């Protein structure tokens, strides 16, 4: 990959993704194998005005070693100095850049029960701190090619060629060719227009239908709204939390989902692949799941806590999105979620509720926004996905036809 292309991509993450503010602190989380790219990203963050850039290095083989060698109790702990840091970040509000490159099943064979239990225990400690910084700082999740990941996506290629091809796929699907910042200004404007049109319809529910057996009706909150692309912190700083991002999404009303959905892509969850699965909902709750692979991980996931069996997101993504058209299966939700319509189990998005900035957490729950320590997307879109919106007055509006936006949703 050309250095100038990577430099432009790094600039996109710092300027459009994080929109680093003058004097702000930045924390980058990335794998050791991407040290060269992290250096470029850090340079761009400083250029954008960061006062300090810190890097949290990760290394999947090491995570694997910890998972094997540490007791459940050790693996579940958040040490006092780590908590102190979380507390400090409530004040400093650093912008956070997450650069993903991990092997989608790099933790296969690790005791999934132990790993998930430990992650849940740590989340319980971390969540109250995170809740206090929610919507107050900019964050961005993006990707860099990793060795093992590349081999998984392009198994027929040599290691070097696979990595090159994965970089090419990341750059093109992230709209980072040419002038990435200009591409994203146009893309953000487009998504904003689509949201405005959907919000003007005042939908009360969505009905999903597909020839693979999917038949699901999901209720929406009267105060709910669709969002996409660019977001804003409570202090008004715009940022793009996901690069790439093609989805227009909302958080549905807790307790109102009836029917069954079938997955259309495998899901990589905590280093385990879950394939060919279905989820059946009753009164909003996932009451029955099946999978041809990873069923235990799926069951564990929906029982993570009380809210883990309820929906937190409904996202609309056309079947002809750039990622879908690339034909590449990334085995990574950041990409695969932008290739197909998807749902997420777990936490809903406060920013999908009108006037969320002045609403307490209790009020958001009361309006029907789900809460959980998990938020896991899974893909349900395909080439014949049909979605009908039902307005508050009971009118039926075609939202999706044959996997793509129906003309009724054009602004
Ligand atoms: Zn999504």
- Note the pLDDT tens digit of each residue in 381-408: 999 999 999 999 999 999 999 999 998 7
Give CA separation, 15 vs 4, 9, 11, 183, 281, in Å: 16, 10, 6, 13, 41
Q: How far is CA 320 from the centre of its chain?
A: 19
Calculate how far, in angstroms, residue 249's C-alpha sits from the geometric centre of ligand 1: 6
Q: Residue 313 C-alpha to ligand 1 middle, in angstroms?
A: 7
212 CA → ligand 1 middle, Å: 21
How do strand 95-100 and strand 139-143 relate by DSSP bridges? parallel
How many whole angstroms from 70 Cα to the centroid of ligand 1? 33
Tell me how far the alpha carbon of residue 348 lies from the centroid of ligand 1, in angstroms: 11
**Rounded to the nearest 5°, which phi and psi values hold at 312?**
-120, -10
Tell me, letter by letter, the H, E, C secondary structure of 214-239.
CEEEEEECCCECCEECCEECCCCCEE
Distance 315 CA to ligand 1 centre (A): 5
> Ligand 1 centroid to 83 CA: how many Å?
29
Centroid of ligand 1 to alpha carbon of 228 (angstroms) = 9
Distance 133 CA to ligand 1 centre (A): 21
Tens digit of each residue's pLDDT (9 = 90 or more) over 65-79: 999 999 999 999 999
Residue 341 CA to ligand 1 centre (angstroms)? 8
Dist. CA 73 → ligand 1 center (Å)? 33
Alpha carbon of 338 to ligand 1 centroid (Å): 7
CA of 140 to the centre of ligand 1 (A): 14
CA 210 – ligand 1 centroid, Å: 19
Contact (Cβ atoms closer than 8 angstroms) between residue 375 and residue 346 = yes
Ligand 1 center from residue 360 Cα (angstroms): 24
Q: How far apart are the first and last CA of the chain?
A: 38
Instruction: Walk along the chain (411 residues) and give the pLDDT tens digit of each residue.
Output: 889 999 999 999 999 999 999 999 999 999 999 999 999 999 999 999 999 999 999 999 999 999 999 999 999 999 999 999 999 999 999 999 999 999 988 888 888 889 888 998 999 999 899 889 988 999 999 999 999 999 999 999 999 999 999 999 999 999 999 999 999 999 999 899 999 999 999 999 999 999 999 999 999 999 999 999 999 999 999 999 999 999 999 999 999 999 999 999 999 888 788 999 999 999 999 999 999 999 999 999 999 999 999 999 999 999 988 898 888 989 888 898 888 899 999 999 998 999 988 899 999 999 999 999 999 999 999 999 999 999 999 999 999 999 999 987 765
Ligand 1 midpoint to CA 154 (Å): 25
Could you tell me the distance, in angstroms and rounded to a whole number, from the CA of residue 115 to the centre of ligand 1?
A: 24
Distance 245 CA to ligand 1 centre (A): 8
* 146 neighbors 31 (Cβ within 8 angstroms): yes
CA of 252 to the centre of ligand 1 (A): 12
Measured between alpha carbons, how far is 153 from 162 in angstroms, rounded to an integer? Answer: 8
CA of 65 to the centre of ligand 1 (A): 31
Distance from the alpha carbon of residue 244 to the mean position of ligand 1, in angstroms: 11
Tell which residue, 37, 166, 31, has the closest CA to residue 102. Answer: 31
How far apart are the CA of 247 and the centre of ligand 1, in A? 6
Cα 271 to middle of ligand 1, angstroms: 19
Q: What is the pLDDT of residue 108?
A: 83
At residue 390, the pLDDT reads 97
Number of Cβ within 10 Å of residue 248's Cβ equals: 24
Return d(Cα 168, Cα 171) in angstroms, integer: 5
Q: Where would I find the H helices in 54-153?
A: 60-69, 72-76, 80-92, 112-131, 147-153
Q: What CA–CA distances, in Å, run from 168 to 9, 99, 312?
A: 12, 16, 32
Rounded Cα distance between 250 and 229, Å, is 12
What spacing in Å lies between the alpha carbon of 376 and ligand 1's midpoint?
A: 9
C-alpha 2 – ligand 1 centre gap (Å): 30
Residue 394 Cα to ligand 1 middle (Å): 27
Q: Contact 254/371 with Cβ under 8 angstroms?
A: no
């Amino acid at each position: 990959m050309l250095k100038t292309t990577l430099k432009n991509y790094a600039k996109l993450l710092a300027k459009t993704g994080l929109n680093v503010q003058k004097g702000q602190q930045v924390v980058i989380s990335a794998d050791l194998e991407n040290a060269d790219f992290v250096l470029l990203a850090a340079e761009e963050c400083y250029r954008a005005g960061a006062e300090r850039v810190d890097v949290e290095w990760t290394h999947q083989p090491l995570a694997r070693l910890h998972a094997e060698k540490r007791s459940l109790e050790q693996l579940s702990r958040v040490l006092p100095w780590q908590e102190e840091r979380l507390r400090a970040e409530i004040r400093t509000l650093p912008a956070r850049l997450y650069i993903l490159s991990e092997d989608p099943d790099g933790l296969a064979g690790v005791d999934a029960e132990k790993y998930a239990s430990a992650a849940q225990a740590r989340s319980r400690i971390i969540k109250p701190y995170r809740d206090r910084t929610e919507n107050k700082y900019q964050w961005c999740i993006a990707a860099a090619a990793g060795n093992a990941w590349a081999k998984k996506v392009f198994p027929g290629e040599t290691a070097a060629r696979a990595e090159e091809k994965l970089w090419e796929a990341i750059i093109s699907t992230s709209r980072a060719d040419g002038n990435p910042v200009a591409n994203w200004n146009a893309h953000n404007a487009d998504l904003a227009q689509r949201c405005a049109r959907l919000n003007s319809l005042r939908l009360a529910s969505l009905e999903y239908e597909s020839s693979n057996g999917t038949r699901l009706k999901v209720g929406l909150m009267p105060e709910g709204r669709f969002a996409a692309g660019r977001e804003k912190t409570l202090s008004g700083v715009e940022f793009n939390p996901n690069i790439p991002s093609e989805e227009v999404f909302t958080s549905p009303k807790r307790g109102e989902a009836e029917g069954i959905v079938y997955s259309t892509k495998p899901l990589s969850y905590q280093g385990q692949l879950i394939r060919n699965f279905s989820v059946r909902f009753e009164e909003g709750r996932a009451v029955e799941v099946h999978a041809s692979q990873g069923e235990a991980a799926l069951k564990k996931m929906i029982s993570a806590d009380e809210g883990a069996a309820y929906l937190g997101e409904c996202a609309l993504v056309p079947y002809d999105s750039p990622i879908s058209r690339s034909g590449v299966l990334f085995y990574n939700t950041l990409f695969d979620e932008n290739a197909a319509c998807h749902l997420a189990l777990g936490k809903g998005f406060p920013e999908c509720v009108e006037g969320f900035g002045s609403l307490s957490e209790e009020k958001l729950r009361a309006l029907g926004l789900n809460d959980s320590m998990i938020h896991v997307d899974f893909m349900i879109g395909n080439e014949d996905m049909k979605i009908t919106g039902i307005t508050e007055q009971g009118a039926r509006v075609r939202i999706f036809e044959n996997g793509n936006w129906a003309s009724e949703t054009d602004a």
